[in-house]
Amino acid sequence: MPRSTRKIVCFSDFDGTIFMQDTGHILFDNLGCGTKRREILDEQIKSGERSFREVSEEMWGSLRVPFEDGFEVMKQNLEIDPGFEEFHRFCLANKIDFNVISAGLKPILRRVLDTFLGEQASSIQIVANEVDIKDDGSAWKPIWRHDTELGHDKALSVQEGRAEAAKYCIDGQIPLIVFIGDGVSDLAAAREADVLFARKGLRLEEYCQENKIPYIPFETFADIKREIEGLMKEDQEKTGGEGTPARFNPRANMWRRVSSKQSVPQFIAATPSKEEKMFLWPESFSQPTAIQENVPA
């Protein structure tokens, strides 16, 4: 099929999205603080009692095993989305940049992708936190990407990815940003995307439904491949203005007014629940940007 005239960049969550399980949960439940304690810590995040970063440091700090031992447990318990490999090959064939964006630890994610995908994984950029692990495994300490309560401000990383992609667009075109996720920690980044995919039946989809945020549900990456093929066809036929598909995220699409005076999206006003406040409003949202300053009152 003909390629889209617009550069497409995909950002995807890792745990629960590319892989059906959570890498951290596998480690904590089997080799660290245990399932019961981990569930208590998760509730502390949801209630706002403690920050994501603080709780995560306790979880990772509970591990007392070498990296290789931890990886063996993950390898035995992880299951990759059945449509992911084919979807990633589709991205490579159509020059669609694919990036993992995660609140997890980059060395773990890289090793998992390399093991499950082989050489195919080398083209995937991973935007995540680093980690310092002692050789004997006696201490695991995350090295956070950002100095915030989240540790990794996914929204800021998507903004940076958009700006970087724009450098390589021709004729002043603006890249199309796709985000793929499943849970609460994806909310801030999801609001930055132009096209949002949410795994069916999980918290990200529930939030989108509650707040009337346009999204495309998916069960496997095969669904995402089919939808993006359709978007590429739509984009080739008519881009921007009245031709902009309704399933685009209006909040992220505030930038479209720059290239189309006919398309002035409406700002989505949503009051986050107690569970979502820390994820929805990272520090980057509190700082005015050129886009935010142009939002109609």
Kindly tell me if the per-residue pLDDT of 291 is higher than 80: no
Range in 181-185, 207-211, 256-260 the model is least confident about: 256-260
Query: Bridge-partner residues for 176, per DSSP?
Result: 8
What confidence score (pLDDT) does residue 188 get? 85
Kindly tell me if the per-residue pLDDT of 157 is higher than 80: yes
Catalytic residues: 13, 15
Domain ranges (residues) in the chain: 8-284
What confidence score (pLDDT) does residue 167 get? 84
Quote the DSSP letter at residue 31: H
What confidence score (pLDDT) does residue 271 get? 38
Structure tokens at 115: 């093991």
Give pLDDT tens digits for 33-64. 999 999 999 999 889 999 999 999 999 999 99
Write the DSSP string, 218-243.
ESSHHHHHHHHHHHHHHHHH--SGGG
What confidence score (pLDDT) does residue 92 get? 96
Give pLDDT tens digits for 92-143. 999 999 999 999 999 999 999 999 999 999 999 999 999 999 999 999 999 9
Q: How confident is the model at residue 184 (pLDDT cuts 50, 70, 90)?
A: confident
Instruction: Report the CATH fold assignment for 8-284.
Output: Rossmann fold (3.40.50)
Residue 107 to residue 105: CA distance in whole angstroms: 6
**Which residues neighbour 178 within 8 Å (Cβ) at sequence distance 6 or greater?**
8, 9, 10, 11, 193, 194, 195, 196, 197, 228
Q: Which helix (H) or strand (E) holds 112?
A: helix 106-117
For residues 125 and 35, is the Cβ–Cβ distance under 8 A?
A: no
More confident residue, 130 or 162: 130
> What average pLDDT is seen over the chain?
81
pTM for the complete prediction?
Answer: 0.80
What confidence score (pLDDT) does residue 60 get? 97
